[in-house]
């Protein structure tokens, strides 16, 4: 296990470095956008005097690098600061939304990951038969349709016609767990449909890819049934690419669901960061980006560790 | 890197085509039809790409085969031109993404050490900024012209390609045959292209088919946020977006461009499957 | 129940009549929607109770309760539920007192005295007095103010309370329309706390703030001690921010909300088939504009500007972009609902010969111009540019459409490019509208237009208290805009909303969207 703990500590250090670079890039990126928070907030009522006064009240007259170091200093003390636009505490602002985002991502993953593994194995087992093709075509068709369209169709069928699920994911801090699950049923289904095919196909491909190997042949010659050959012998060896793909999709479920949030009016982090980029509210954008980046770094680390565990040759490098 | 091998594979693939299963033939014919439509768009389409020819939402008729869209442009014309724009953009973007991602991934896996560290950290940084936010920033700064769109989406999509390539290539890089090649004193380029690449091609090709779909998705997702291909250029993603609300009223118009995308994705992946089967079949025999 | 029944049958009837006229006459039908409803007003009896949920296509995580920062309809509607204003525009477009009982001006229209209503209570129990009004207006004034309403209150020289119920304002220059400014959505009256306005959401409106999650939703409960009789009918009121129009429509058709704003005009004919919904279409002041900058070539030549104006097919834009839900624009910014609207001006039509004539007069045969367009200006702006491009080509104007990114549009394109697409929600008075967008020294003089006669009239009309003289002056100014200014104004867009038939209302005000932002106070539920 030593190599793993070494890798973990290395990665955590590198993760911190990544986060720092991300914060620099995002900070610079937002500065490059036309306008700033004062002009965006005032919009069409931005007279020069009002903009100047607003800039001053938000501390935007301070030089750029000083503002960055200010921000960096407070973040290192664990303080996200306050939103420029309305002076709200960013930690307070983010907390419920982060929870919503994670809740949705987890429910979508709970639906899609087992289905993807199962579907992938079944497709590999019955490869090139009708079942394989049917699974294939259905999943492909589902991912090649834009996610908002998947959402509209699910809404049409399950909300408008059948009337069994709400088309709006109207949740707040007082919503019960059951209410929450009902509210996010449609968005998590939509997301599950969106990520399912990728994971399923990767599972299938990775397994089939290994079937030519000798140990599979050996297992078959032992007279094991085909499904056991796949699950016990091929699957463990195919775990590295499968884990990578699953992790990528999990990261997507957390960071990339703005469109689904918009369609279902779900108060997650994606909508917050888009709003904040549009309003040039740098501290909020920074805070959200860091959370997203940290999520990604952590998931990434998990994938790497899984790959190492799955491949003993990596565990004990020569 | 798969691109380097493209022609050779096509050539040997052609002889295999005759013996290909029905699904692959179907996929190939669909792709050929799409490519023809894309190439011959101005000749096939009865009207101009952005030409307003009638009232909005005309029903299907002999004059307007698939009716007209919300501005009164011929739907069939838009679909045909959409093939050209969408296919062209998606293909270029995916190819570019693979050239960047796969070569970097291979290099990282083969050289290891510092090369791997630097490349991996760079990609980590790129990937840890959420795609849509990154696209939002870049497109807001550089504008939404088609070349910018292609480059931005290609860069965004090259990162997962890198990750995947590196993951499978590292697996391959510690295998005995690579070890043997190293001991033989082969150079890193040789090891990359002759030893590792052929062994990971299957995974990469499978990814290519999917990545191609994702590019569509990202483009239409961006158009949902107002940053995709700008009107009046016809592309299927934006066409779905423009008419998506119609589906609520049971109108099938938005299904046409969506169906066009889906059919193409299925066709591409049927061909990819056949290729995979053939590739693994060679090993099995 | 009997009353409820007769009400809903009336609604159904008026909707049917509206549909017929809309189908038959297109653009002309629009005004009649408002015209049909008064018959309803006499019979409709509001009911108390229920929870009203409305979905609007705006709202942002960066909103705040500070009225100085209200920029989207989400906060404007919610602000009108929480707060009272000095004055109010009634449903027929007349200015009436709200917190102010009456007002009068000095002869020179430079000093205005507002008499406050008695017995008005804030949600925190405080009684309204003159200090609250002074503090509320001062909140937007002064060097330090970053308020969006700064420009509106900058004409105020001094404010003071004269006793507990009288506020005296002296202005820097004469302004006959001053009371209208007090209706502005960013100027609610808040309770004073140590001489400063309390911006925590405490107001004296019909509803008390319950919960607000900016950019998501906000709820308020009926204020038991609300002073206004026959208003604020709901037990509770909720606004949801639903940006995607498809999502809004679905939420309405599945009954998750009872009203939505900004219907999708492309598919509105399909939505109309839904028998449990009522579509309201109110012609207001919001207008699509394509300003040409009069200080850059080739638009510095008035004949080029006229050629551009004559080449435009307004009817086509109205039908295609708005599906008929709007009114034709006449290249001046005054809406037909305004009391100083110039009725005599002929409607400008597409006239390709005149366009060619003016082009020739300008000495150009083949004009190449760039039009910067983005849907950030208005939905369909790029489509509008594409439509215009086809017409303009016929007279020899080659329009090159530059598609500008939506993000940052108001900062980098608006007022800056030679020719661009723009939008304004309009202003309640002619003076206000002209002063903000057309006066030579206005910071948002969209066309960089400097017409001496126009600016002279603007000052004169502002200080004139005689309405018939003002009408004369404003008519001339509208004509000047039409003939000389850089603004192409093809259409005025209606406020098109969809309501569940359970929502009762009288004639809907046209000052702003959603019954002049007062739907929470004026509407009721018929099924409670």
Q: Say whether pLDDT at A116 is over 70.
A: yes
Closest residue in chain B to residue C318, using alpha carbons only: B71
Nearest CA in chain C to B69: C266
Answer yes or no: do B128 and A19 touch at CB < 8 A.
yes
Q: What single DSSP character describes residue C265?
A: G
Neighbours of chain C (3+ CB pairs under 8 A): A, B
On whether both C499 and C480 belong to a single domain, the answer is no
A300 touches chain B (CB under 8 A): yes
C404 in a structural domain: yes
Q: What is the pLDDT of residue B156?
A: 86
Per-residue model confidence as pLDDT tens digits over B182-241: 888 888 788 888 888 888 887 788 778 778 877 877 777 777 666 777 666 777 877 877
Mean pLDDT of B125-131: 81
Tell me which chain B residues have a C-beta less than 8 angstroms from the C-beta of A251: 127
Q: What percent of chain B has pLDDT over 70?
A: 88
As given in the structure block, the two tokens for residue C471 are 């009408």
Q: pTM for the full model?
A: 0.82
A47: closest chain C residue by CA: C443
Indicate whether C18 belongs to any domain.
no
> Do both C369 and C266 map to the same domain?
no
Mean pLDDT on B119-148: 80
Please state the rounded mean pLDDT for residues B237-254: 76
Given a cut of 70, whether residue B5 has pLDDT beyond it is: no
Place of tokens 């306050």: A82
Co-location of C476 and C503 in the same domain = no
The reported pLDDT for the residue numbered A45 is 64
Residues C270 and C312 both lie in one domain: no
Residue B12 has pLDDT above 80, yes or no: no
Query: Is C176 or A42 the better-scoring residue by pLDDT?
Result: C176
The closest alpha carbon to C131, from C51, C212, C86, C192, belongs to C192
Same domain for C308 and C456, yes or no, is yes
Mean pLDDT of the region B129-148: 78
- pLDDT of C27: 34
Average predicted confidence (pLDDT) for chain B: 79
**Residue C452 covered by a domain:** yes
pLDDT for A58-93, tens place per residue? 777 788 888 888 888 888 888 888 888 778 888 888
- Rounded distance between C-alpha atoms, residue C440 and residue C444, angstroms: 9
List the domains of chain B with CATH numbers. 24-45+52-279 (1.10.3720.10)
| Closest C-alpha to C225, from C302, C119, C151 | C119
Question: Does C297 lie in the same domain as C441?
Answer: yes
Residue of C nearest to A82 (CA): C62
How many Cβ atoms from other residues are within 10 Å of residue A24's Cβ? Answer: 13
Q: What tokens does B236 get?
A: 């299927």
> What's the total number of domains in chain C?
2
Q: How many beta carbons lie within 10 A of that of residue A224, not counting itself?
A: 15
Distance from CA of A262 to the nearest CA of C (A): 6
* C304 and C269 housed in the same domain: no
Q: Which residues pair with C166 in a beta bridge?
A: C115
Pair (C484, C500) in one structural domain: no
Q: What angle in degrees, to the nearest 10, is found between the helix axes of A269-279 and A282-310?
A: 140
* Any domain includes C139: yes
Residue C439 half-sphere exposure toward CB, CA atoms < 13 A: 17
Pairing of strands C100-105, C111-116: antiparallel
- C133: three-class secondary structure by DSSP: helix
| Residue C442 sits at the chain A interface (C-beta within 8 Å) | no
**Tell me, what's the pLDDT at A162?**
87
Residue C3 belongs to some domain of the structure: no
Decide if A181 contacts A108 (C-beta within 8 A). Answer: no
Q: Hey, is the C-beta of A153 within 8 angstroms of any chain C C-beta?
A: no
Go through chain C and tell me how many residues it has.
528
3-state helix, strand, coil in chain B (%, to 5): 80, 0, 20
- If we measure between CA atoms, which residue out of C457, C467, C427 comes closest to residue C176? C467
Residue C313: give the domain boundaries.
287-493
Residue contact B133–A146, C-beta within 8 A: no
What DSSP state is assigned to residue B58?
P
Crossing angle (nearest 10°) for helices C352-361 and C302-311: 160
Mark whether C254 and C378 lie in a shared domain.
no
C44 CB burial (10 A radius; 0-12, 13-18, 19+): buried
Q: Tell which residue, C248, C252, C254, has the closest CA to residue C278.
A: C252
Please say whether the beta carbons of A170 and A265 come within 8 A: yes
Query: Which structure tokens are listed for C354?
Result: 């005149």
Q: Which domains does chain A have, with CATH numbers?
A: 90-315 (1.10.3720.10)
Query: How confident is the model over B253-270, as pLDDT tens digits?
Result: 778 888 888 888 788 878
DSSP 3-state helix, strand, coil percentages of chain A (rounded to 5)? 80, 0, 20
pLDDT tens track for A195-209 = 888 788 888 888 887
Best mutation target among B108, B109, B130, B220 (most A Cβ atoms within 10 Å) is: B130
> Which C residues 146-205 touch A at CB under 8 Å?
146-151
Q: Are C493 and C288 in contact (CB under 8 A)?
A: yes
Q: How far is CA C497 from CA C118, C271, C338, in A?
A: 36, 11, 21
Closest Cβ opposite residue B52 in set C267, C375, C390: C390
Q: Which residues of B218-254 are buried (b: 16+ CB within 10 A; e: fewer)?
A: bbbbbbbbbbbbbbbbbbbbbbbbbbbbbbbbeeebb
Comparison of pLDDT for A105 and B244, the residue scoring more: A105
Length of chain A: 318
Q: What pLDDT is recorded for position A2?
A: 64
Residue with tokens 């195919």: A238
- Asked if C68 and C154 sit in the same domain, the reply is yes
Taking 50 as the pLDDT cut, the residues of chain C under it are 1-42
Residue B230 is predicted with a pLDDT of 66
Task: Yes or no: say if B182 and B191 are a contact pair by the CB < 8 Å rule.
Answer: yes
B59: number of Cβ within 10 Å: 8
CA distance B184 to B179: 9
Please give the residue that has the higher pLDDT: either A278 or A187: A187
In sequence order, the 6+-apart residues with CB closer than 8 A to the CB of C92 are: C507
**Which residues touch B111 (CB under 8 Å, ≥6 apart)?**
B188
* C5 part of a folded domain: no
C62 contacts A276? CB cut-off 8 A: yes
pLDDT tens, position by position, B90-100:
889 999 999 99
| Partner A contacted by C32 (CB < 8 A) | no
Q: pLDDT band at B110, cuts 50/70/90?
A: confident
Cβ distance A259 to B202 less than 8 Å, yes or no, reads no
Higher pLDDT, B139 or C99: C99
Q: Which two tokens stand for residue C317?
A: 């834009």
What's the whole-number mean pLDDT along residues A122-135? 85
User: Of C267, C317, C318, C342, which Cα lies nearest the Cα of C29?
Assistant: C318
Residue C395: its H or E element = helix C381-395
- Nearest CA-CA partner of A192 in A259, A296, A105, A103: A105
Beta bridge partners of B74: B68
Q: C237 by DSSP, 3-state: which?
A: strand
Contact C412 A281 (CB under 8 A): no
List beta partners, residue C422: C289
Q: How confident is the model at residue B9 (pLDDT cuts 50, 70, 90)?
A: low
Domain assignment present for residue C185? The answer is yes
Cα–Cα distances (Å) from A71 to A14, A20, A61, in that order, read: 21, 12, 15
Chain B positions touching A194 (Cβ under 8 A) are: 217
Pick the closest to residue C122 from C227, C210, C204, C223 (CA basis).
Answer: C204
Contact A152/B247, CB-based, under 8 Å? Answer: yes
Residues with Cβ within 8 Å of C31's Cβ and at least 6 positions away in sequence, in order, are C283, C327, C336
The domain spanning residue C354 has which CATH number?
Answer: 3.10.105.10
Query: Three-state SS for B121?
Result: helix
What is the C-alpha separation between C269 and C286, in angstroms, rounded?
22
Q: Which residue reads 């107002």 in tokens?
A: B226
Residues 6+ apart with CB under 8 A from A118: none
For A180-245, give the secondary structure using H, E and C.
HHHHCHHHHHHHHHHHHHHHHHHHHHHHHHHCCCHHHHHHHHCCCCHHHHHHHHHHHHHHHHHHHH
CA B217 to chain centroid, in Å, comes to 10
Distance CA B72, CA B82 (A): 16
Q: At C424, which helix (H) or strand (E)?
A: strand C422-424
| Residues C487, C501 within the same domain | no
Place of tokens 């709400």: A166
**Run of H or E residues at C211:** strand C207-213
Q: Are residues C448 and C356 in the same domain?
A: yes
> Which of A83, A159, A267 is facing C254, going by the closest CB pair?
A159
Residue A239: CB partners within 8 Å, gap ≥ 6?
A: A306, A307, A310
User: Reading across the β-sheet that carries C100-105, which strands appear in turn?
Assistant: C100-105, C111-116, C166-171, C156-161
What SS3 state is found at C313? coil
The count of other CB atoms within 10 Å of the CB of residue A183 is 22
For residue range C183-227, list pLDDT tens digits in order.
999 999 999 998 899 999 999 999 999 999 988 899 999 999 999
Take residue C261 and report the two structure tokens written for it.
Answer: 């704003």
Contacting residues of C for B48, CB less than 8 Å apart = none
Check CB contact of A212 with chain B, cutoff 8 Å. Answer: yes
Domain assignment present for C12: no
List C-alpha distances in Å: A227 to A63, A284, C81, C453: 65, 50, 65, 89
Q: What's the CATH code of the domain at C100? A: 3.40.190.10
The pLDDT of A310-318, averaged and rounded, is: 61
Q: Please give the interface size between A and B, counted as residue pairs whose CB atoms are below 8 Å apart.
A: 191
Q: Is the pLDDT of residue B57 over 60?
A: yes
Residues of B in contact with A149 (CB under 8 A): 240, 244, 247, 254, 258
């Amino acid at each position: 296990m030593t190599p793993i703990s070494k890798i973990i500590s290395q990665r955590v250090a590198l993760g911190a470095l990544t986060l720092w670079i991300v914060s620099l890039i995002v900070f610079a990126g937002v500065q490059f956008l036309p306008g700033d928070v004062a002009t965006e907030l005032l919009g069409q009522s931005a007279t020069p005097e009002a903009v100047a006064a607003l800039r001053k009240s938000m501390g935007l007259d301070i030089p750029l690098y000083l503002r960055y170091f200010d921000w960096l200093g407070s973040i290192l003390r664990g303080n996200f600061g306050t939103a420029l636009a309305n002076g709200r505490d960013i930690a307070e602002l983010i907390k419920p939304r982060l929870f919503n985002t994670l809740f949705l991502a987890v429910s979508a993953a709970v639906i899609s990951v087992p289905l993807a593994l199962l579907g992938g194995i079944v497709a590999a087992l019955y490869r090139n038969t009708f079942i394989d093709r049917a699974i294939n075509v259905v999943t492909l068709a589902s991912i090649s349709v834009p996610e908002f369209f998947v959402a509209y169709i699910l809404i049409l069928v399950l909300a408008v016609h059948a009337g069994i699920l709400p088309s709006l994911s109207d949740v707040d801090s007082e919503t019960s767990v059951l209410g929450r699950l009902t509210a996010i049923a449609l968005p998590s289904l939509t997301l599950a449909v969106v990520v399912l095919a990728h994971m399923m196909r990767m599972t299938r491909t990775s397994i089939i890819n290994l079937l030519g190997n000798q140990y599979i042949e050996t297992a078959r010659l032992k007279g094991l049934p085909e499904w056991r050959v796949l699950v016990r012998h091929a699957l463990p060896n195919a775990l590295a690419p499968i884990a990578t793909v699953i992790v990528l999709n999990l990261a997507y479920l957390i960071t990339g669901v703005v469109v689904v949030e918009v369609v279902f009016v779900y108060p997650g982090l994606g909508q917050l960061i888009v709003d904040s980029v549009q309003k040039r509210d740098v501290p909020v954008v920074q805070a959200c980006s860091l959370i997203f980046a940290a999520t990604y770094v952590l998931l990434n680390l998990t994938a790497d560790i899984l790959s190492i565990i799955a491949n003993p040759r990596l565990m004990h490098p020569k | 890197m798969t691109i380097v091998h493209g022609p050779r594979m096509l050539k040997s693939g052609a002889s295999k085509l005759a013996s290909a299963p029905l699904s692959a033939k179907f996929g190939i014919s669909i792709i050929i039809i799409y490519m023809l439509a894309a190439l011959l768009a101005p000749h096939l389409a009865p009207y101009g790409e952005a030409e307003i020819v009638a009232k909005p939402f005309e029903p299907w008729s002999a004059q307007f085969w698939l009716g007209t869209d919300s501005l009164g442009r011929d739907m069939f014309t838009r679909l045909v031109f959409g093939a050209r724009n969408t296919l062209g953009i998606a293909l270029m973007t995916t190819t570019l993404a693979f050239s960047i991602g796969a070569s970097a991934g291979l290099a990282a896996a083969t050289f290891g050490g510092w090369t791997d560290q630097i490349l991996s950290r760079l990609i980590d940084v790129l990937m840890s900024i959420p795609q849509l936010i990154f696209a939002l920033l870049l497109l807001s700064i550089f504008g939404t012209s088609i070349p910018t769109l292609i480059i931005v989406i290609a860069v965004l999509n090259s990162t997962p390609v890198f990750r995947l390539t590196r993951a499978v290539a590292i697996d391959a890089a510690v295998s005995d045959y690579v070890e043997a090649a190293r001991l033989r004193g082969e150079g890193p380029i040789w090891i990359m292209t002759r030893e590792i690449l052929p062994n990971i091609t299957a995974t990469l090709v499978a990814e290519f088919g999917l990545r191609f779909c994702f590019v569509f998705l990202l483009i239409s997702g961006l158009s949902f946020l107002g940053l995709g291909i700008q009107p009046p250029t016809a592309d299927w993603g934006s066409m779905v977006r423009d008419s998506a609300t119609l589906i609520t009223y049971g109108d099938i118009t938005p299904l046409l461009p969506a169906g066009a995308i889906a059919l193409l994705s299925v066709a591409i992946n049927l061909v990819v499957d056949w290729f995979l089967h053939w590739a693994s079949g060679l090993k099995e025999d | 129940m009997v009353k409820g029944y007769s009400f809903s049958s009336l609604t159904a009837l008026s909707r049917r009549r509206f549909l017929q006229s809309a189908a038959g006459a297109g653009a002309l039908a629009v005004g009649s929607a408002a015209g049909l409803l008064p018959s309803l007003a006499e019979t409709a009896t509001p009911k108390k109770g229920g929870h009203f949920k409305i979905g609007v296509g705006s709202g942002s995580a960066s909103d705040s309760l500070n009225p100085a920062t209200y920029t989207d309809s989400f906060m404007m509607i919610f602000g009108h539920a929480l707060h009272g204003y000095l004055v109010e525009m009634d449903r027929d477009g007349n200015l009436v007192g709200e917190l102010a009982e009456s007002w009068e001006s000095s002869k020179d229209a430079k000093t205005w005295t507002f008499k406050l209503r008695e017995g008005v209570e804030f949600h925190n129990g405080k009684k309204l007095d003159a200090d609250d009004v002074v503090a509320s207006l001062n909140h937007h004034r002064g060097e330090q103010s970053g308020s969006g309403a700064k420009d509106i209150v900058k004409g105020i020289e001094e404010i003071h309370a004269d006793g507990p119920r009288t506020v005296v304002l002296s202005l820097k220059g004469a302004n006959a329309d001053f009371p209208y400014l007090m209706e502005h959505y960013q100027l609610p009256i808040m309770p004073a706390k140590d001489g400063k306005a309390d911006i925590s959401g405490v107001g004296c409106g019909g509803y008390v703030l319950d919960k607000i999650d900016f950019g998501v939703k906000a709820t308020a409960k009926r204020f038991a001690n609300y002073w206004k009789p026959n208003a604020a009918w709901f037990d509770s009121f909720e606004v949801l921010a639903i940006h995607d129009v498809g999502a809004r429509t679905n939420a309405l058709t599945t009954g998750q909300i009872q009203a939505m704003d900004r219907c999708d005009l492309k598919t509105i004919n399909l939505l109309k088939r839904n028998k449990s919904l009522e579509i309201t279409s109110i012609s207001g002041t919001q207008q699509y504009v394509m300003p040409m900058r009069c200080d850059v070539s080739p638009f510095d030549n008035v004949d080029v500007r006229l050629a551009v104006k004559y080449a435009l097919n307004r009817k086509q834009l109205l039908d295609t972009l708005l599906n008929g839900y709007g009114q034709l624009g006449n290249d001046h910014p005054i809406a037909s609902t305004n009391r100083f609207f110039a009725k005599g001006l002929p409607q400008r039509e597409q006239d390709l010969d005149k366009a060619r004539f003016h082009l020739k007069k300008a000495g150009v045969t083949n004009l190449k111009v760039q039009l910067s367009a983005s849907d950030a200006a208005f939905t369909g702006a790029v489509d509008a540019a594409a439509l215009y491009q086809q017409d303009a080509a016929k007279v020899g104007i080659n329009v090159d459409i530059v598609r500008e990114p939506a993000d940052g549009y108001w900062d980098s394109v608006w007022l800056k490019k030679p020719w661009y697409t723009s939008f304004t929600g309009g202003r309640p008075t002619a003076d206000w509208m002209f002063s903000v967008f057309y006066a030579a020294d206005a910071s948002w003089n969209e066309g960089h237009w400097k017409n001496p006669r126009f600016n002279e009239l603007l000052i004169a009309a502002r200080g004139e208290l005689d309405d018939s003289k003002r009408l004369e002056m404003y008519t001339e100014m509208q004509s000047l805009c039409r003939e000389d200014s850089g603004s192409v104004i093809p259409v005025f867009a209606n406020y098109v909303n969809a309501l569940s038939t359970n929502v009762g209302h009288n004639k809907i005000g046209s000052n702003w969207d959603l019954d002049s932002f007062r739907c929470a106070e004026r509407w009721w539920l018929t099924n409670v």
